[in-house]
Amino acid sequence: MIPADLIHYKEKSQKIIALTAWDSISGSIAEQANVDLVLVGDSLAMVCLGYKSTLPLTLENIIYHTNAVSRGFKKRIEEQPFIVSDMPFLTYQCGEDKAVEYAGKIIQSTYAKAVKLEGAEPEIQKVISRLIRMGIPVMGHIGLTPQSYLNLGLKKQGDCIESQQKIKKEASILEQLGCFSIVLEHIPESLAKEIQNNLKIPTIGIGAGNYCDGQVRVTADLLGLNDHQPPFCQPIIQGKNLFKDKLKEWVEYERLK
């Protein structure tokens, strides 16, 4: 699969289903669940590495984890999910040259076929445009952008007219710059619907309602593995409790045997 295929999904009204992965086991489970796309998201900083935010994640971390994820794939290469890797904080905020070098390293040393980066400020627009011209496909990410949580917090975005106008404008700029899709995180459903209607490229929602062209979830949230659940992701099982209870049973059994 190449990025343009995802645009065809939208043309055919075929939903794009994506999950995050951070190691071989989560990669293998996502692949076997038949997702279209695996995002090696910087949420792995919290999910897998125990950090309190995404900010400490490094370029080396994302390369290491992207390679672990792809080693978990077992299907024939043409049938494997499309991998997108997040660009960690400070790998694209310090100018275009550095961003090309770091995104290039991700593409060169992993099986990721695209990178995702957050925001659409003028500096970020320049970076996105340069990456795309240099042959690196880019997925945008607007709405709640966790790498900016020190400024914006982790609350829902697009809750007033100004913020809605800003997000709509950012979405169309990202499309004009050549992004092949955009993640819309934690924004009102009506706003996501309007953006979805206005764009030719697919929107992939998380906490953005049901009208996006696709959905992405942090797998650990969906499986109920984390202690803190984001308000916009209902777990489909209470994974942590399930595993913990089963392991406790096993420990007791082995002790008494």
Question: Interface with ligand KIV by CB under 6 A: which residues?
Answer: 20, 39, 41-43, 86, 183, 185, 206, 216, 218
Q: What's the CA gap between 154 and 40, in Å, rounded?
A: 20
Q: Which is nearer to ligand KIV, 99 or 184 (CB)?
A: 184
Instruction: Report, in Å, the least distance between residue 218 CB and ligand KIV.
Output: 5
Instruction: Report, in Å, the least distance between residue 78 CB and ligand KIV.
Output: 25
Question: Are the CB atoms for 40 and 216 separated by under 8 Å?
Answer: no
Instruction: Report, in Å, the least distance between residue 186 CB and ligand KIV.
Output: 9
The amino acid present at 75, given as its one-letter code, is K
Burial bucket for residue 47 (CB in 10 Å: 0-12, 13-18, 19+)? buried
Q: Name the catalytic one among 31, 118, 170, 185.
A: 185
162 is catalytic: no
DSSP symbols for 52-68:
SSSTT--HHHHHHHHHH
Q: Which is nearer to ligand KIV, 172 or 226 (CB)?
A: 226
Q: Which residue is nearest to ligand KIV (CB)?
A: 41
Greatest Cα pair distance, the chain, in angstroms, is 66
Instruction: Report, in Å, the least distance between residue 216 CB and ligand KIV.
Output: 5
Q: Which is nearer to ligand KIV, 62 or 136 (CB)?
A: 62
Q: What's the CA gap between 217 and 78, in Å, rounded?
A: 23
Q: Which is nearer to ligand KIV, 31 or 86 (CB)?
A: 86
Going by C-alpha positions, the residue among 232, 230, 251, 229 that lies closest to residue 240 is 229
Q: What's the CA gap between 19 and 121, in Å, rounded?
A: 27
Instruction: Report, in Å, the least distance between residue 66 CB and ligand KIV.
Output: 12
Question: Are the CB atoms for 99 and 130 separated by under 8 Å?
Answer: yes
Would you give the distance in Å from CA 38 to the centre of its chain? 8
Q: Which is nearer to ligand KIV, 151 or 255 (CB)?
A: 151
The DSSP output letter for 179 is: -
The tokens for 157 are 């975005």
Give the residue numbers annotated as catalytic, written as ranges. Answer: 185
